[in-house]
Chains A and B, each alone.
Chain A
Amino acid sequence: MKKITAYSRITDSLVILNGKPCEITFSCEPGPGRLAEIYRFLESGYPKFFKMDNLSKAGFLASEMVLRSLHYDMESPDESTAVVFANRSSSLDNDKRFQETISREDYFPSPAVFVYTLPNIVTGEVAIRNKILGETSFFILESFDAEKMMIFVDWAFASAGTRRVLCGWTEYLDGHCDVLVMMVEKESDQGVDYNKQNINNIYIT
């Protein structure tokens, strides 16, 4: 029976790991500064974090929390884990930032900003960080929808060899963050049952 074995939630006002709030003292308003504060709290030691767009940063941090809580081996290549994220605003937060760089007459487009003008880059960043070699995919939805997300996760499990799926909702736009990342395992006796009601309950915490 599939189980949700760990989850994290990052919003403008909360950082939660497996139902428990993380005791982070924020000095910044919600937005990029606060994401950096969470990064420092986690002591991730991954300088590439600072080159990411805000969507990738948010997804990276939530994934980092989940995988660490499961003592995930991020040093060994892993083909049995897939990454499936979804959101509403795609990469619009970064797209707007890139547009600003090209809207001036004497414009200098930034390659480092341009490379994040796709939402699925966040799944790649998480996969690279953790040596995950399974399927990665990203979907755009009107709003958070547990039922549709379960369909996407089941597609990932249909891939031969997939035993767990790191999945969730990674929404970031204009300084506002709404992220839920879960680990769903195909066969586990830990965690809570993987069903629509439990996913919705976790999301609204």
Chain B
Amino acid sequence: METLILDLKKQIIEALNLEDITPDDIDTNAPLFVEGLGLDSIDALELIVLMEKQYGIKLEDPGKSKEIFRSVATMADYISKNRKK
């Protein structure tokens, strides 16, 4: 799981152009939106694309998005259980 979390942090930094931020700067359990990294709605769309591109996961239930994208930890947990690649 630790490798997946580190990979995910690197992919988030690259996908969202988070300049001057390293994986160590991202708290695994901190909220991704509003607080924490302060991501916005466009960033949320980028994270959905990232999940499909990197892990073959298509989010079909928008209602679950809020919980899946709550933090890096919740994303990693969802990916580990649903990844297709």
Chain A residues in the interface with B (C-beta under 8 A): 36, 47, 49-51, 108-112, 115
Contacts and interface: CB of A to CB of B under 8 A. Distances in A.
A50 B46 contact: no
B52 A47 contact: no
Interface of B: 15-20, 42-43, 45-46, 49, 52-53
A111 B42 contact: yes
Contacts of A47: 18-20
Contact of A50 (B19, B42, B43, B52): B19
Given A111-B42, A112-B43, A51 B49 contact: no
Contacts, number: 29
Please classify the interface of chain A as helix (H, G, I), strand (E, B), loop, or mixed, using the class held by over half of its residues. helix
Contacts of B19: 36, 47, 49-50
B53 A51 contact: no
Nearest to A52: B17
Contacts of A109: 49
A108 B53 contact: yes
4 closest cross-chain pairs (CB), A and B: A111-B45, A50-B19, A50-B17, A108-B53
Contact of A112 (B20, B46, B52, B53): B46
Contacts of A111: 42, 45-46, 49
A78 to B, nearest CB: 23
Contacts of A49: 19
Contact of B49 (A50, A110, A115): A110
Given A108-B52, A108-B53, A51 B45 contact: no
B20 A51 contact: no
A51 B52 contact: no
Contacts of A50: 17-19
Nearest to B49: A108
A110 B52 CA distance: 12
A49 B17 CA distance: 10
A36 B20 CA distance: 12
